[in-house]
Amino acid sequence: SPLPPPESAQVASSGLAGLPAFHARFELASRFESFSVQGMKSGTMGIYARVARIGLAYSALEYLEKCLNIKGYPDILAPDLVQALRKPELRGLVENAKLGLRSHAVKKELDLVLESKSKENVRPMIMLFRNSLFHGEFTPTGWKIRASQKTLKLLDSLAQVTLRKADETFTNWFEANC
């Protein structure tokens, strides 16, 4: 059987000792632009890169919430993005994305956001992209995602709003505790 990690590694992965790892993840997500894949069309690669940035940004936020012992999934409010997701030209993207979603809880929350005019939480959509890319069956072709300007802008905005939420969460914690 494999050896357990040393105690110092266990401590460093949780609580405030994990803040340097959060910072590294946040910086990576903030500065990530793209990657290169030989033989892949630029539009497809652009979608993968943007969804990867969403995943990196969400990983940073999720890790920060773990470090700060924040329970549950606090909302990431973005009324403009929710409105965009409800529009017919992007609704197909959302519906195709939901087909690959394994979590019934996330799907239910996403449906509530899309159907309720009072819901402005984009976290379910961010979780959908992150989980589907890193744990699921995400492919731009399979999800019928075209590299249109509206789609690329939406994906960029989902990453940006996630990074803003991480920054806001850290800043609020810092101001209250330091």
| Residues 119-151: tens digit of each pLDDT | 899 999 999 888 888 887 788 887 778 888 988
Q: Give CA–CA dist 13/10, Å, rounded.
A: 5
Confidence band of 4 (pLDDT split at 50, 70, 90): very low
Find the angle CA(17)-CA(14)-CA(124) to the nearest 5 degrees. 120
SS (H, E, C) 9-73: HHHHCCHHHHHHHHHHHHHHHHHCCCCCCCCCCHHHHHHHHHHHHHHHHHHHHHHHHHHCCCCCC
Give mean pLDDT, residues 145-171. Answer: 94
Q: Give CA–CA dist 4/137, Å, rounded.
A: 31
Q: Any idea which residue has 């990576």 for tokens?
A: 28
pLDDT of 111 reads 86
pLDDT of 14 reads 58
Of 151, 152, 103, which Cα lies nearest the Cα of 128? 103
Alpha carbon 171 to chain centroid distance? Answer: 19
Of 169, 156, 165, 154, which Cα lies nearest the Cα of 76? 165
Confidence band of 10 (pLDDT split at 50, 70, 90): very low
The tally of CA atoms less than 13 A away on the side-chain side of residue 3 is: 4
pLDDT tens track for 72-126: 999 999 999 998 888 887 777 777 777 767 778 888 888 888 888 778 999 999 9
Token digits of residue 60: 């940073």
Q: Is it the case that residue 163 has pLDDT exceeding 60?
A: yes
What DSSP state is assigned to residue 158? Answer: H
Indicate the pTM of the whole model.
0.86
Q: pLDDT > 70: what percent of the chain?
A: 92
